[in-house]
Structure 1
Amino acid sequence: MIEEPARGIAPLQDAWAVLKAAGERAAVPTAGAALIRDGTNVLFRLTGGVVARIGLPGSQCAVERQIQASRWLDRAGVPVVRLVESIEQPTLVEGRPVTWWVELPAHRHATPAELGSTLRRLHNLEPPDAPSLPAADPFDGLRSSIDGGVVLSGEDRGWLKEMVEQLRADYRQLVPNLQPAVIHGDAWQGNVAVPVTGGDPVLLDLDHLGIGPREWDLVSLAVDYTDFARITESDYRAFVAAYGGYDMTTWPGYRTIAAARELRWTLFAVGKANSSVKAAEQARHRVACLKGEIVRPWTWSAL
């Protein structure tokens, strides 16, 4: 899922060098490594069923929280991506944290119903004493992403800033009536892996695990249904039923949460536009959608 406004992505050639150095320090063989994903975090598949995950410089505290969160979820009985416990975590190379994870067996993305049941299980957990999970902030980093968006016209930049402030004010009105829960923070079908040979769905990507309103987890699939027509009505109803019957699209605050999520997706494209013609085109398209210049259902290309 295109989730976060881009906050800097290190060159891939640097990640290969970091991987080699980290492997030497942690005594993990890295010869024959294969790239899985090149993004904010860079993932490599290694021999022996290990996946290396390289974070950005200065992200050690966040990575250590993810390590603790994985172990806590495992103890709580939630199937989750697991660390290689025989390796001390994380391995630091020039300020970049490298973590080592157990490779998942062959798997597929979750269905909407499987996502719904997984989120229900997660949201029903009591928040832990440790790790101390951060409070989710849907507006974190948005202003700086707008300021750094060179693809934006001055008019669009001003309009987006006004949108952020209006949504923030509307959100503050909603918060007192929302019950906080443990939330994933980037809940979509690709962040729940279902083994093809059977077994429980496994929760992935703990970067944004925190405490916040459950609606922030439910909204991604909801807008897939209401604003993008990416899933059928029957799939959405299956998601709602698996979650326990709560349909957030009928809640009066739905549009505020939906707009905040779509704004984050838009600013992700804005952040990538400096180095990608496709992203620049997509950023302008998404801004036009938010401004009401293009009617729903929208079609946004993945980046």
Structure 2
Amino acid sequence: MNKFERISPTRAVIHGDAHTGNLLRDPSGRIMLGDLDSTGIGPVAWDLVVCAVVAQRFGRTGFYREFSAACGWDVTQTSEWPTLRRIRELILVTSALPDLGRRPEVAAEHQHRLRTLREETLNARWHPYR
């Protein structure tokens, strides 16, 4: 049993899209988590998967090492990681579908991401949709 399992339940209220882009700072400097439209009940690991996938696909491994150390838990070392990773990656691929017809640069990155998923190229770098 790891530190995280001792202090948290397996299922709980989760944000659903927890990443640094959804952090908001109020005028007093307090940081809050915004964009709550994916909030629900689910596996606690899901909120950590976002940062782990971003680290691996977008080359932010240094950030993820610090992040997981601060959490005291590395979701990539769990048995559910392969499944949760594939789900999150599929979300990152399908999020661009509405833009494919009118934005060729997005379509090109979408094709790259889709190809790496089909070929199961787990270490392929992705680039942000612009």
TM-score with structure 2 length normalisation?
0.80
Alignment of 1:181-192 (within 5 A): 181-192=12-23
Contact 2:57–2:125 (CA under 8 A) maintained in structure 1 = yes
Structure 1 residues 189 and 208, CA gap change in structure 2 (3 angstroms)? same
Which consecutive residues of structure 1, in runs of 5 or more, have no partner in the other structure?
1-119, 125-177
What corresponds to 2:103 in structure 1?
A: 276
CA contact (8 A) 2:106 2:129 kept: no
CA deviations 1:19-64 (Å, max 9, x no partner) are xxxxxxxxxxxxxxxxxxxxxxxxxxxxxxxxxxxxxxxxxxxxxx
| Aligned counterpart for 1:237 among listed residues 40, 47, 65 | 65
Size of the alignment, in residue pairs?
Answer: 125
Distance 1:295 1:181, change over 3 A: closer
Query: Which residue does the alignment assign to 1:204?
Result: 34
* Structure 2: gaps (5+ residues): none
Alignment partners' CA distance in 2, 1:275 and 1:214: 37
Letter matched to residue 227 of structure 1: R
Work out the percentage of aligned pairs sharing the same amino acid. 35
Q: Deviations over 1:153-199 (max 9, x none)?
A: xxxxxxxxxxxxxxxxxxxxxxxxx821111111110101245x763
**Under a length normalisation based on structure 1, what TM-score does the superposition of the two structures give?**
0.37
Say whether the 8 Å CA contact 1:289–1:298 is kept in structure 2: no
Change (3 A) 1:248 1:274: same
Determine whether 1:214 maps to 2:73.
no
Per-residue CA deviations over 1:209-238 (Å, capped at 9, x if unaligned) read 111111111101111223332241xx3232
Q: Structure 1 residues 229 and 256 mapped into 2: Cα distance closer, same or farther (>3 Å)?
A: same
> Quick one: structure 1 residues 292 and 228, their matched pair in 2 at CA, closer, same or farther if it must change by over 3 Å?
farther
Q: CA RMSD in A?
A: 2.6
Residue 293 of structure 1 and its aligned partner are, at CA, apart by: 7.0
Give the Cα–Cα distance (whole angstroms) in 1 for the partners of residues 129 and 18 of structure 2: 16
8 Å contact kept, 2:24–2:32:
yes
- The answer to whether the 8 A contact 1:269-1:282 is kept is no
